[in-house]
Amino acid sequence: MPFPCLRDPSNNTSSTAFFFECTGWAGSVCILTAYLHKWEESTDFALNLAGSCCLLAICLKKKVYQPAIINFIWSIGSIYKYIYLPPQFSNN
């Protein structure tokens, strides 16, 4: 920390905070990976659901409710898409 005076004093550096930050970044990677690559339906579902749940956790931890609602809807949407919509890719 070369500039401790510029650091936010409310910034929590505990291991729990580090865990939640890593969880948020992992969620971002999962969602972007699902978006940028053409996966099987089950893999796409797992990446979207895991990513949205990870981002939901960090948003709730930081009490940022607008993106938390979006990620909650994203997780419900991925479940709906996996269960109720027909598969987009067929082997025929």
pLDDT per residue as tens digits for the range 51-87? 999 999 999 999 999 999 999 999 999 899 888 877 6
Residue 4 pLDDT: 46
60 class by beta-carbon count within 10 Å (0-12 exposed, 13-18 middle, 19+ buried): middle
Residue 59 pLDDT: 93
Q: Taking CA 12 as the corner, what is the angle to CA 72 and CA 67, rounded to the nearest 5 degrees?
A: 20
